[in-house]
Chain A
Amino acid sequence: MKKPIKYILGTLAVLLVLFLSFDIQKLDDYLAADTKVHFSAKDYAADFWENKLPAAISQAAPLLPLTNMLHNDPEKAFTDFGQKLGISGTWYFMVQGAGVIEAVEEENLLVTMNGEFQTRIATSFIFGNAIRDGSGAVNINEFLNMTDFNNVSIEINNLVRNNTVPILKENAKPGMKLQFAGAFEIKEDQIDVQSIRIIPVSVILSDGNKE
């Protein structure tokens, strides 16, 4: 074979190898594909609801003793039962309790516990991070960005609206007994246990004779 043909074939072979070695795509497309396709907040929230929330409920603080502790020794209440995110003065608590429905309000149920203490269970205005952060079961370090982390809150609140609130909206009446678990937030410099408003994740209603 003549030398020039050898060189041309050799060069073509090298170029072919080089061409096949590279995958050229736009940087924007690459970064978008790398960072945005993997996470579904809806799936994450469904898994949280199914697999993580039951454990958080089983360890939830009883509401009445917690309110006493918040009143008398808030630091101990924060340390023993509270969850806080980052640099913040807001604490989140997962709680459980039982009482009698005193009134059905536009956005809440007013519930009397132990015949004296009154608290509110939300049936509307279900917003914020009380469940996500109060449960202590969602770790911010697992998330690529705050958007994903925050979308989990939105989806958890949707589950509350779809799964828990309808039970209360359709059935709750004054005089009925209510067993509940849920979460609330409180600011450490504005502790007022009378204004606690609980976002419910688990409810059992009964008329006194049956559930």
Chain B
Amino acid sequence: MKKIFLIKLMLGLLIFFIAGSCNNKSKNGDLKKMAVVISTLNNPWFVVLGESAAERAQELGYVAHIFDSQNNSAKEAEHFDNIIAMGYDAILFNPTDADGSVLNVKRAKEAGIPTFCMDREINSRDAAVTQLLSDNFTGCVKLGQYFVRQMNKKGNYVEILGLVGDNNTWNRSSGFHSVVDEFPDLVMVAQQSADFDRNKAMDVMETIMQANPDIDAVFCGNDAMAMGAYQAVLAAGKADEVKVFGFDGARDAVEGIADGKIEATVMQFPVLMSRTSAELADQYINGNRDFSSKTPVEVILITPENVKEYLPEN
């Protein structure tokens, strides 16, 4: 009887030590920590990105804290200072600036903290462990082809850009123009930034329409700006004349396509990106070092032809 008890006790201790060595605890016994640094929480899309990353990190057994950079690179640098000082184990990072954020990631790397970029890119091959990025270019190539066909290869259009320091802005613009610029009868009459902001896009579109009354379409670098541009078009009484194209797959834009307000958008998958980033960070912490420096995530063109599949109720 004593022997059985002793065997059970030994097995119990063995399991305890194995579990102890495999769980996500730091040397002093505290749970390991992941920092989720988000460019701005003033946009629902990024709220989803940050919360999904934190939720997945918690499911994997980590303490997760979200930091809001408020689209301010100085604020972002402060967050990195605190994260390094507090000894976080990994950073799930949505940068504010493709160039300006590189130094922050390098500082974290020097401090032994791995960074995993989500959705927004930094211009570096090796500062971050890996970067999970929506394939914005390919999405806008598909959107551009749809745009050309909807416009019958001719007409005047406006482009409203996102943040000019963000690579996503230019990858979207470049994908779109790689198609549309091949058709000389499609003329861009204005190109202006509205910082991915709905209200700014409305103001920008109102101003552009005053100077250019003959506009047939507007391509916006995200859906928030597309909805702002649509409001401006609607207020000018031109909702039937000006076709509005967006990017993101935001709920109101998808519903707008179903209602005939928006022509098309491109759906991104922030939950997939953020959850996968947390999983990759967990793999890194547990010893995996085999990562591709960039991992594009496919995006889907949403048009009236397939919008039913992507409506929230479906």
Contacts and interface: CB of A to CB of B under 8 A. Distances in A.
A157 to B, nearest CB: 8
A86 B99 contact: no
Nearest to B133: A146
A35 B174 contact: no
B292 interface: yes
A145 interface: yes
B141 interface: yes
Interface residues on A, range: 20 to 34
A17 to B, nearest CB: 28
B288 to A, nearest CB: 16
B171 interface: yes
B214 interface: no
A42 to B, nearest CB: 14
Given A85-B135, A125-B145, A128-B141, A144 B124 contact: yes
A31 B102 contact: yes
A90 interface: yes
A150 interface: yes
A85 B299 CA distance: 12
Contacts of B310: none
A150 B137 contact: yes
A21 interface: no
A35 to B, nearest CB: 5
A129 B297 contact: no
Given A87-B272, A88-B297, A90-B298, A154 B135 contact: no
B274 interface: no
A147 interface: yes
Contacts of B178: 127, 150, 153-154, 157
B221 to A, nearest CB: 14
Given A144-B124, A151-B174, A88 B296 contact: yes
B172 to A, nearest CB: 10
Among B133, B135, B136, B167, the most chain A Cβ lie within 10 Å of the Cβ of B135
A89 interface: yes
A72 interface: no
Contacts of A137: none
Interface in A13-38: 28, 31-32, 35
Contacts of B297: 86-88
Interface in B272-303: 272, 276, 292-298
Nearest to A128: B141
A106 B264 CA distance: 25
B135 A35 contact: no
A107 to B, nearest CB: 11
A88 B294 contact: no
Contact of A150 (B124, B175, B292): B175
B138 A128 contact: yes
Given A31-B102, A146-B171, A151-B174, A87 B295 contact: yes
A25 B100 CA distance: 15
Nearest to B296: A86
Interface string A47-61: 000000000000000
Given A32-B99, A151-B174, A146 B293 contact: no
Given A87-B276, A151-B174, A141 B135 contact: no
By Cβ-Cβ distance, the 3 closest A-B pairs, closest first, are: A86-B296, A88-B298, A150-B137
Given A88-B296, A150-B174, 13 more contacts: A85-B296, A87-B295, A87-B297, A127-B178, A129-B138, A129-B141, A140-B293, A140-B294, A145-B98, A146-B136, A146-B294, A150-B137, A153-B178
